[in-house]
Structure 1
Amino acid sequence: MATWKNDPDHSHLGFVVRHLMITDINGRFADVDIDLEVANDDLSDAVFSMTAKAASIDTHVHARDEHLRSADFFDVTQHQDLTFQSSAVHLGAERAGTITGILEMRGVSREVTFAITASDRITNPFNNKETQSFSITGEVNRSDFGIGPNIPAAIVSDRVRVAANFEVSPA
């Protein structure tokens, strides 16, 4: 098994929620670490581990970010990390498929399945390292994780769309 790590400059963990049933609000977690343990080129044995610092939430509005860090939502003083640990990766011929694993937010762990697409592996011309990228998309319900339990879905949607894009190279 080889360990691959994400390149923070080419990695993004974002989300979208609906506000007041009118507009989409985009955000991200700025501090994200992703490890990939893998031996097979087809990724059949791949294990992804992700840790995002909850306090690094960024929606480009300081007051909103502070509210999201509070006990009303992520409670970052008590729950500093969001984590994901994959249990299965299934890719088809087009290098697209599913990734299943345990997502933990605010101390609540749930099994989730997202769509995943993998690029071909290339040699990065800037650092001569073997590099591969991944795109992961899906949805979670914030209420399943105890996030914003007193905030009605009419104000902030329960459904949260997730999108992660990242590059990894051998550590």
Structure 2
Amino acid sequence: MKKATIIAALLIASAATTFAQTWTADKAHSRVGFNVTHLSVTELGGTFNSIDAKLTSAKPDFTDAVVEFSADVNSINTDNEQRDTHLKSPDFFDAAKFPTLTFKSTSFKKVSDKKYKVSGNLTLKGVTKPVVLDVVLGGTSTNPMSKKEVVGFKITGTIKRSDFGVATGMPTAMLSDEVTLNAGTEFTKD
């Protein structure tokens, strides 16, 4: 009897993997950004303009989703060329040594109707730490131009730059240790 239970469990797990759908980020309709507080008075932000992301899920409610994300650190844009150059330097992201930041989810849990908590590992400046992000499902639709199914998510969260060795010589009175992450990402079903 135990053999039959094990075989059934393996078949169910195999079927879930077989029917998984892959969704790819629509880069033209996605934005990944961050905000920090400068001198304890002003919130400033930026984006990473070159990103890749994919979402794989067999369940229509995405509760089994796996998310993989990467951003080219050299694509950082704060609307100030001098600041962007400084952010790419060893003082901050050290883009020459660590050109990519990545995130891979370990769980995607539904907490209410359209709200989720996604846990995963963020790798930034060669340091990998677990993070938890809030996700809101914007909905699904069919793109009238491409006729492909799309899904949208709003993602927010907070990390500490010091946890990743970013700007460790910068006092928090000058630049907040807390960095707010925010993204609006549209995925297209492959």
Query: Does TM, scored on the shorter chain, surpass 0.5?
Result: yes
1:148 is aligned with what amino acid? Answer: A
Q: How many residues align?
A: 171
Runs ≥4 residues deviating over 6 A:
none
TM-score by length of 1: 0.97
| 1:48-104 deviations in Å (ceiling 9; x for gaps) | 000000111110000000000000000000001010000111124421021100001
- Is 1:152 paired with 2:171? yes
Does residue 170 (structure 1) correspond to residue 189 (structure 2)? The answer is yes
Name 2:80's counterpart in structure 1.
Answer: 61
Q: For residue 80 of structure 1, what is the aligned residue in structure 2?
A: 99
Superposition pairs of residues 13-162 of structure 1, within 5 angstroms? 13-162=32-181
- Higher helix fraction (1 or 2): 2
Per the normalisation by structure 2, the TM-score is 0.88
When the two chains are superposed, the root-mean-square deviation of aligned CA atoms in Å is 0.9
Return the structure number with greater relative CO, CA threshold 8 A, min gap 6.
1
State the distance in 2 between where 1:150 and 1:156 align: 10
The percentage of counterpart residues that share the same residue type is 37
- Structure of greater Rg: 2
1:26 match: secondary structure: strand
Going by fraction, where is strand more abundant, 1 or 2? 1
Partners in 1 of 2:79 and 2:139 — Cα distance? Answer: 33
